[in-house]
A and B are shown apart, each in its own frame.
Chain A
């Protein structure tokens, strides 16, 4: 286990290094360089001063020869004098020491990490709710349709999962908005079709006045995006749970449990289900990066200003530091999630040995 962990950490570092190179390369493809957009800004209110531009160039190491640019961006330049490159030493700390640069446009001159941090809670609320809701429905549905294979419900679930994987999430979201708007128009109960919170208090028939920025307001705004995300996830998750459960039900120890005369309930819920849940670790851990990244498309449709929305926005504004930070954090989380999954597997299933 220890050797495995050491090797795994080593691999992790390598993959992370590769990811930073890929992200840096992507940025270097920007025509005219990453500062191009900043230089072309002619709006008198937001035009960067010469000092701003100098600072950004320093931040990205663009004032240095090419072989030091990536190094500066990654690890800063405070230490360059210790290896005999006094003329290039500066005050940058580099991304590995938390210096991720500042936003160009969306929130001018604010540190990128701060901008991301401010959007994070809303995205976490949305994604965690959606994941919990889909798992709460997917696990029992998957188990039931595996136990009652080829029953009516099993067929229903199979057809549903086909519909689910073919359903474009943005269209589903738009149709939900159209429906809730129709309800609102006709004076019926409805859910707010967009935004994270309302600006002014509003009245929902059957619920009364909803105060802006209250907990009720927040929950009402979450319903539609959570529905879209859950329905799309549910299709995949329940199929996954079903096939995992079918696999386990074929095992010898399940037959043994039945042969011992245990009640079917106990066999299914205690002996089979617990083992069938193990492959779900993959899904569960796989959602960690997604939870951070938010749902690019769903957040856009519902004007839900979380991280996914921020990403699309910063691409539109060519706010490269935010784009970079988003990509990097995503990549780091994916790598960490994979490691967690490997470790969880050994904890959950002693039959898996990792060295």
Chain B
């Protein structure tokens, strides 16, 4: 009997499907309940922003002076603001701008950071030294004051906001990627592809980069959370998205003590959207970190 059991086990192993790395990551991610919930919530937020015209009939910039400062009701589920615009409609359209800026900024700053980091880590030598000293220097600059002064000089707009955030944002991801590249640079498969006469770019972007993808993904997710808050703060201070365009940050710009005293909901909803979105990105980042590499620390 013992023999047959062993045979069964043998066939089991042969017939068992090998789990692809992607499925394995998904399975581990699914165990992080908060991360899964955050993905769902974030999905809803993004969908609502994208489908804004289908969800609300109100124009985000159409003001009805007669209906200003209305409390939340069935007609205006989040009330109206100080010139009579529907807060819910503005929130949805603002989501497009805020989320759009966040995705574009993080995409470009991480892409730039990855390219610079890979080059720095792979070639080493004086180039690496130069890049890393630049990174060190940029990290010593006071970030927020510099952002503000640059935006003031070139007069604020969405395009400028993205450019400035990208130019200051690549630094930390470049440093992270460089460290990762250094740790895989001396592996055997790199030597093997070099023996096969692979070119430098091929080794860098076909062999090294895919092996550092896990920390990049986590870095991107956490970066999104940070950018959502930074953009909101800059727009709140008047240095980001300019009215009449709505962003979650600049919706709070007109909020003063009178508004807070009598119509506090006008301040509550946009800020809560920022908070919730940022929180979702943080939880997803945490879940991805656990799922992609349980030993990894960032």
Contacts and interface: CB of A to CB of B under 8 A. Distances in A.
A19 B278 CA distance: 33
B145 A326 contact: yes
B260 A178 contact: yes
Contact of A166 (B225, B252, B270): B225
Given A29-B154, A163-B279, A166-B279, A300 B142 contact: no
B233 A168 contact: yes
A30 B233 CA distance: 23
A331 interface: yes
Contact of B140 (A296, A318, A334): A334
Interface in A162-190: 162-163, 165-172, 174-175, 177-178, 181-182, 185
Contacts of B275: 166-168, 171
A338 interface: yes
B284 to A, nearest CB: 11
Given A297-B237, A300-B237, A335-B140, A174 B149 contact: no
A166 B154 contact: no
B244 to A, nearest CB: 20
Contacts of B236: 170, 297
Contacts of B227: none
A326 B261 CA distance: 34
A296 B229 contact: no
A266 interface: no
Contact of B267 (A29, A174, A193, A323): A174
Contact of B149 (A194, A297, A315, A335): A315
A289 B279 CA distance: 28
B283 A162 contact: yes
B232 interface: yes
A171 B146 contact: no
A28 to B, nearest CB: 10
B255 interface: yes
A15 B145 contact: no
A174 B255 contact: yes
Given A194-B257, A323-B149, A338 B274 contact: no
Interface residues of A, number: 44
Contact of A315 (B137, B141, B148, B257): B148
Contact of A330 (B137, B145, B252, B279): B145
Chain B interface size, under 10 / 10 to 19 / 20 to 34 / 35 or more: 35 or more
A156 interface: no
A289 B274 CA distance: 28
A318 B144 CA distance: 17
Interface string A273-289: 00000000000000001
A267 interface: no
Given A168-B278, A334-B142, A312 B261 contact: no
Given A175-B268, A327-B142, A331-B140, A166 B148 contact: no
Given A163-B279, A168-B274, A331-B140, A318 B152 contact: yes
B278 A331 contact: no
Contacts of B271: 168, 170-172, 174-175
B227 to A, nearest CB: 12
The listed residue with most B CB atoms (<10 A of its CB), out of A182, A312, A338, is: A312
B150 interface: yes
Given A166-B282, A175-B268, A181-B261, A293 B150 contact: no
A18 interface: yes
A26 interface: yes
Contacts of A171: 232, 252, 267, 270-272, 274-275
Nearest to A172: B271
A168 B229 contact: yes
B148 A19 contact: no
A237 interface: no
B23 to A, nearest CB: 27
B25 interface: no
A285 to B, nearest CB: 13
Nearest to B274: A168
B153 A15 contact: no
Contacts of B145: 293, 296, 311, 326-327, 330
A208 interface: no
A166 B229 contact: yes
A22 interface: yes
Contacts of A193: 257, 260
A346 B89 CA distance: 57
A29 B92 CA distance: 36
A185 B229 contact: no
A26 B141 contact: no
A327 to B, nearest CB: 6
B50 interface: no
B154 A185 contact: no
Contacts of B190: none
Given A168-B233, A168-B271, A312-B237, A174 B152 contact: no
13 contacts: A15-B140, A26-B149, A29-B153, A162-B279, A166-B279, A171-B232, A171-B271, A178-B267, A181-B261, A296-B237, A312-B148, A315-B148, A327-B145
The 5 residue pairs across chains A and B that have the minimum distance between CB atoms: A171-B271, A166-B279, A166-B278, A178-B264, A330-B142
Given A19-B141, A172-B271, A293-B145, 9 more contacts: A29-B154, A165-B278, A166-B229, A168-B232, A170-B236, A175-B271, A326-B145, A334-B141, A334-B142
Interface of A: 15, 18-19, 22, 26, 29-31, 162-163, 165-172, 174-175, 177-178, 181-182, 185, 193-194, 289, 293, 296-297, 300, 311-312, 315, 318, 323, 326-327, 330-331, 334-335, 338
